[in-house]
Structure 1
Amino acid sequence: MSHPGPYLFPVASLSGHAPSGAWDEMTGTTGKVRPLWSGLARAMEHWTAEERATLSESADHLLEDLGATYNIYSDAGGSGRPWRIDPLPLLIDAQEWNKVATGLGQRMRLLEMVLTDLYGPQKLLEEGLVPPDLVHANPHFLTNLRGIVPVGGRYLATVGFDLIRGDDGRWRILRDHTRLPGGLGQTLENRSVTTNVLQAEFETSRVAGITPFFELEREMLLSMSHERTQVPHMVLLTPGFRHPSYFEHAYKARVLGIPLVEPADLTVRERRLFLKTLSGLRRVDVLVCRLDDDSVDPLEFWTMGGGGVPGLAEVWRSGNVALANAPGTGFAATMALMPFLPGICRKWLGEDLKLPFVETWWLGQTPIREKVLADLQRYIIFPAFGPGQPVRCSSLGSNGRKLWLATLESRPHDFVVQRDITPSLAPVLDKGSFHSQPVIWRSFCLQSTDGPVTLRGGLGIVAKDGILLNEYSGAELTAKDVWVPDETSVTSEGPAIRLEGHQIARDPTGAEVPSRMAEHLFWVGRYAERIELATRLLRTTVKRLGGELTASRRAQRDACFALLRGLEILPPEATTLPPQPLPVLARLVHNPSAPHGLPSLIRPLLWNAASARDRLSDDTWRLFNRLEDLLHSDNSHPTASALVQTLDNLVLHLAAFAGMQAENMTRGHGWRFLEIGRRIERSLGVLSLLASAPDTGSPECPVLEPLLETCDSTMTYRRRHFSRPRWDSVAELLFSDPSNPRAAAAQARILSTQCETLPGDPQMGLLPRIREHVAALVQATSPSPDGIPDASGFVKRASAFEELSDLLTQHYFSHSVRRVY
Structure 2
Amino acid sequence: MPTTTKTSWLNSYTTKFGNDELFNSNNDVKGYWKKLFTSFDKLGESGLKGRQKDIDWLLLENGVTYNVYNDPKGMHRPWNLNVVPLVMHRSEWENVEEGLKQRAELLNLVLKDAYGERRLIKDGVIPHEVIYGHRGFLRQCSGIEYTTDKLLSIYSADLARGNDGRLWVVNDRTEAPSGMGYALENRSTTSRILPEMYTRMNVKRLSNFFKEFHQMLIDASPSKKDNPNIVILTPGSHNETYFEHAYMASFLGYPLVQGNDLVVRDGFLWMKSLQGLKRIDVVLRRVDDAFSDPLELREDSHLGVAGLLDVVRRKNISVINPVGSGVIENPGLIPFMPAIAKYFLNEDLILPQIASWWCGQEKEKSYVLQNLSNLVVKRIDRTNRESIYFGKFLTPNELESLKQQIIERPYRFVAQEQINFSTAPNLTQDALEPRNVVTRAFVIANGDHYGVMPGGLVRVAPDSKTVRVSNQRGGTSKDFWVVEDHPIKEDKNKNWEQKSSIAISGLDDLPSLTAENLYWAGRYVGRTLVNARFIRTVMRQMAMVQNRDEKPEAVKLQVLLKAVTHLTGTYPGFAEKPKEGPQAMENPYDEMLSVIRDQDRVGSLAHTIGMFSNSYYSIRNLWSSDMWRVFEDIQKLWQAFQADENPSILKILKVLNQLITRLIAFMGLIEESIMVQQGLLLYFIGLQLEQSMLTITKCRSLLAVKQETQVEYDILEYLLTSHESLNIYRYSYRSYIQLEHVVDLVILDVEYARSLTFLINRLQKDISRLPHSRKDQQLTSYQKYVFSAYSKLRLAESSKLCSLKSKDDVVREELDKLLGELSELLYKTSQSITGTYFNHTDRQTQMFTQSFPF
123-132 or 237-246: which moved more? 123-132
The two structures, once aligned, show a CA RMSD in angstroms of: 3.5
What SS is found at the alignment partner of 2:771? Answer: coil
Who is 1:387 aligned against? 383
Partner of residue 285 from structure 1, selected from 281, 285, 288: 281
Distance in 1, matches of 2:139 and 2:279, equals 28
Who is 2:207 aligned against? 211
Who is 2:499 aligned against? 504
Mapping of residues 503-652 of structure 1, within 5 Å:
504=499, 506-507=501-502, 510-511=505-506, 512-546=509-543, 549=548, 557-568=557-568, 571-574=571-574, 578=585, 584-593=591-600, 595-631=602-638, 632-633=640-641, 634-652=643-661
Q: Using the TM superposition, give the Cα deviation of residue 168 of structure 1 relative to its aligned residue in structure 2, in angstroms.
A: 2.4
State the Cα deviation string for residues 41-70 of structure 1 (Å, max 9, x = none): 235456666555544444344334444333
TM-score computed with the length of structure 2 as normaliser: 0.86
What amino acid sits opposite 1:200 in the alignment? E
What residue ranges of structure 2 are gaps of 5+ in the alignment? 576-582, 802-813, 843-854
Mapping of residues 804-819 of structure 1, within 5 Å:
804-814=829-839
Q: Is the 8 A contact 2:149 2:447 kept in 1?
A: no
135-144 or 795-804: which moved more? 135-144
Partner of residue 294 from structure 2, selected from 294, 298, 312: 298
Q: Is the 8 A contact 1:233 1:283 kept in 2?
A: yes
Q: Is the 8 A contact 1:520 1:611 kept in 2?
A: yes
Who is 1:127 aligned against? 123
What SS is found at the alignment partner of 2:92? Answer: helix
Partner of residue 35 from structure 1, selected from 8, 31, 36: 31
Q: Using the TM superposition, give the Cα deviation of residue 651 of structure 1 relative to its aligned residue in structure 2, in angstroms.
A: 1.0
739-748 or 594-603: which moved more? 594-603
Mapping of residues 135-214 of structure 1, within 5 Å:
135-214=131-210
Q: Using the TM superposition, give the Cα deviation of residue 506 of structure 1 relative to its aligned residue in structure 2, in angstroms.
A: 4.2
Distance in 1, matches of 2:142 and 2:584, equals 72
What amino acid sits opposite 2:817 in the alignment? S
How many residue pairs are counted as aligned between the two chains? 805
Change (3 A) 1:376 1:566: closer
Who is 1:735 aligned against? 747
State the Cα deviation string for residues 333-378 of structure 1 (Å, max 9, x = none): 2112122222232343233222222222323334545566665555
TM-score computed with the length of structure 1 as normaliser: 0.89
What amino acid sits opposite 1:105 in the alignment? K
Q: Is the 8 A contact 2:523 2:686 kept in 1?
A: yes
What SS is found at the alignment partner of 1:208? Answer: coil
Q: Using the TM superposition, give the Cα deviation of residue 302 of structure 1 relative to its aligned residue in structure 2, in angstroms.
A: 2.8
Answer yes or no: is 1:664 the counterpart of 2:673.
yes
Answer yes or no: is 1:759 the counterpart of 2:771.
yes
State the Cα deviation string for residues 246-266 of structure 1 (Å, max 9, x = none): 222222222221111111221
Distance in 2, matches of 1:586 and 1:656, equals 26
Q: Using the TM superposition, give the Cα deviation of residue 401 of structure 1 relative to its aligned residue in structure 2, in angstroms.
A: 5.8
Mapping of residues 661-810 of structure 1, within 5 Å:
661-694=670-703, 696=706, 699-700=709-710, 701-760=713-772, 762-763=774-775, 768-782=780-794, 784-785=796-797, 787=799, 788=801, 789-810=814-835
Q: Using the TM superposition, give the Cα deviation of residue 735 of structure 1 relative to its aligned residue in structure 2, in angstroms.
A: 0.9
Distance in 1, matches of 2:367 and 2:587, equals 78
Q: Is the 8 A contact 2:254 2:503 kept in 1?
A: no
What amino acid sits opposite 1:746 in the alignment? F
What SS is found at the alignment partner of 2:113? Answer: helix
What SS is found at the alignment partner of 1:530? Answer: helix
What amino acid sits opposite 1:604 in the alignment? M
What amino acid sits opposite 2:750 in the alignment? P
Distance in 1, matches of 2:329 and 2:841, equals 41
Q: What percent identity do the matched residue pairs reach?
A: 28
Distance in 2, matches of 1:248 and 1:644, equals 38
Q: Using the TM superposition, give the Cα deviation of residue 137 of structure 1 relative to its aligned residue in structure 2, in angstroms.
A: 2.6
Change (3 A) 1:597 1:770: closer
Partner of residue 81 from structure 2, selected from 82, 85, 89: 85
417-426 or 765-774: which moved more? 765-774
Change (3 A) 1:490 1:104: same
Change (3 A) 1:737 1:266: same
What amino acid sits opposite 1:567 in the alignment? L
Who is 2:479 aligned against? 481
What SS is found at the alignment partner of 1:273? Answer: strand
Q: Using the TM superposition, give the Cα deviation of residue 298 of structure 1 relative to its aligned residue in structure 2, in angstroms.
A: 2.2
Distance in 1, matches of 2:115 and 2:393, equals 40
Change (3 A) 1:798 1:100: same
Q: Is the 8 A contact 2:427 2:433 kept in 1?
A: yes
State the Cα deviation string for residues 450-507 of structure 1 (Å, max 9, x = none): 52111111110112234667687852221211112245564779xx9999xxx63545
What SS is found at the alignment partner of 1:87? Answer: coil
Q: Is the 8 A contact 1:222 1:232 kept in 2?
A: yes
Q: Is the 8 A contact 1:50 1:432 kept in 2?
A: no
228-237 or 285-294: which moved more? 228-237
Who is 1:13 aligned against? 12
What SS is found at the alignment partner of 1:693? Answer: helix
Distance in 1, matches of 2:610 and 2:234, equals 22
Distance in 2, matches of 1:164 and 1:562, equals 64
82-91 or 212-221: which moved more? 82-91
Distance in 2, matches of 1:62 and 1:462, equals 20
What amino acid sits opposite 1:183 in the alignment? G
Q: Using the TM superposition, give the Cα deviation of residue 586 of structure 1 relative to its aligned residue in structure 2, in angstroms.
A: 4.5
37-46 or 768-777: which moved more? 37-46
Distance in 2, matches of 1:274 and 1:387, equals 32
Partner of residue 654 from structure 1, selected from 663, 668, 674: 663
What SS is found at the alignment partner of 1:703? Answer: helix
Change (3 A) 1:541 1:446: same
What amino acid sits opposite 1:712 in the alignment? E
Distance in 2, matches of 1:75 and 1:278, equals 37
What amino acid sits opposite 1:623 in the alignment? V
What amino acid sits opposite 2:696 in the alignment? L
What residue ranges of structure 1 are gaps of 5+ in the alignment? none
Who is 1:445 aligned against? 443
Change (3 A) 1:605 1:509: closer
Partner of residue 454 from structure 2, selected from 426, 451, 456: 456
Answer yes or no: is 1:326 the counterpart of 2:311.
no
Who is 1:263 aligned against? 259
Q: Is the 8 A contact 1:220 1:497 kept in 2?
A: no
Distance in 2, matches of 1:118 and 1:413, equals 17
763-772 or 478-487: which moved more? 763-772
Who is 2:847 aligned against? none
Partner of residue 417 from structure 2, selected from 401, 416, 419: 419
267-276 or 397-406: which moved more? 397-406
Q: Is the 8 A contact 1:536 1:710 kept in 2?
A: yes
Distance in 1, matches of 2:447 and 2:619, equals 34
State the Cα deviation string for residues 562-592 of structure 1 (Å, max 9, x = none): 4323314664552588566556545544443
What amino acid sits opposite 1:617 in the alignment? S
What SS is found at the alignment partner of 1:427? Answer: strand
Distance in 2, matches of 1:651 and 1:590, equals 16
Q: Is the 8 A contact 1:690 1:791 kept in 2?
A: no
State the Cα deviation string for residues 712-740 of structure 1 (Å, max 9, x = none): 11221111111111111111111111221
What SS is found at the alignment partner of 1:782? Answer: helix
Q: Is the 8 A contact 2:149 2:448 kept in 1?
A: no
Change (3 A) 1:649 1:104: same
What amino acid sits opposite 1:424 in the alignment? S
Who is 1:252 aligned against? 248
Distance in 2, matches of 1:7 and 1:780, equals 84
